[in-house]
Amino acid sequence: MANYLSYKQGTFPFKNLGLLVGANMNRVRDWNSVIEIFKNCLSLWKAKMLSYGGRITLITSVVNSLPTYYFSLYKAPIQVLDSLDKIRRVFFWGGSEEKAKMNWVTWDKTIAPIEYGVLGFGSLRDANLAMLAKWWWRFETEKEVLWRRVVWAIHHNPRAWSDISVKIYVPGPWKNIISTRQAL
């Protein structure tokens, strides 16, 4: 078909809007581009030049939104979430990967909501689960949209008891979305 339309035939995986298409996002190495974006945005020289207030602003307004595009389709492996949290933690406290600075507050309290009297950085794991759970909600409420009909046609099993079915042998993001059921 590519030859017929005079297009160049590509290969998988490829990048589209910064997202790897055709890659197995269950592998940690396929998340390296997200980790590199984090590292570049939160470089050590920026931490030394900014006050704590500046670091808080950078983390909450910019960095927390960087992985949103990935998190909305793929369940991030635990190693990736730990790596991203480590980058945020080291940047906030002004240390480096080689030499850590003293942490005045535990990280669990740092990521807790502001209503609890802490910094409110937010949990990347919770953000990932919330974005994947949104697809469940959209699947149940938007009955006539094209993407829902495609997922239904691929994964529907009339003999299944589940309200949202998934065929285990069919690869893709829908399996990750359904796998969040146990976490929620």
Domain map of the chain by residue range?
14-124, 129-183
With a cut of 80, say whether residue 101 has pLDDT above it: no
Give the pTM: 0.77
Residues 6+ apart with CB under 8 A from 70: 19, 25, 31, 34, 76
CA-based torsion, 106, 108, 113, 115: positive or negative = negative
Residues 6+ apart with CB under 8 A from 163: 140
Q: Which helix (H) or strand (E) is 46 found in, with range?
A: helix 44-49
Residue 128's alpha-carbon distances to 64, 77, 132, 145, in angstroms, are: 11, 10, 6, 23
Counting Cα atoms < 13 Å in the Cβ hemisphere of 8 gives 2
pLDDT the model gives residue 116: 77
Average pLDDT (64-79) is 86
Average pLDDT (57-80) is 84
Residues pairing with 14 in the sheet: 21
- Kindly report whether the peptide bond that precedes residue 158 is cis, defined as omega within 30 degrees of 0: no
Q: What is the pLDDT of residues 105-162, one digit of tens each?
A: 777 778 887 787 777 888 889 899 999 989 888 888 898 999 888 888 887 776 655 5
Average pLDDT (61-66) is 79
The pair of three-digit structure tokens given for residue 9, joined into one six-digit string: 């035939």
pLDDT the model gives residue 165: 66
The pair of three-digit structure tokens given for residue 139, joined into one six-digit string: 């699947």
Q: What is the pLDDT of residues 5-44, one digit of tens each?
A: 888 887 888 877 767 777 888 889 988 888 888 888 777 6
Alpha helices for 62-111 (secondary structure H): 68-71, 78-93, 107-111
Query: Confidence band (pLDDT; 50, 70, 90) for 69?
Result: confident
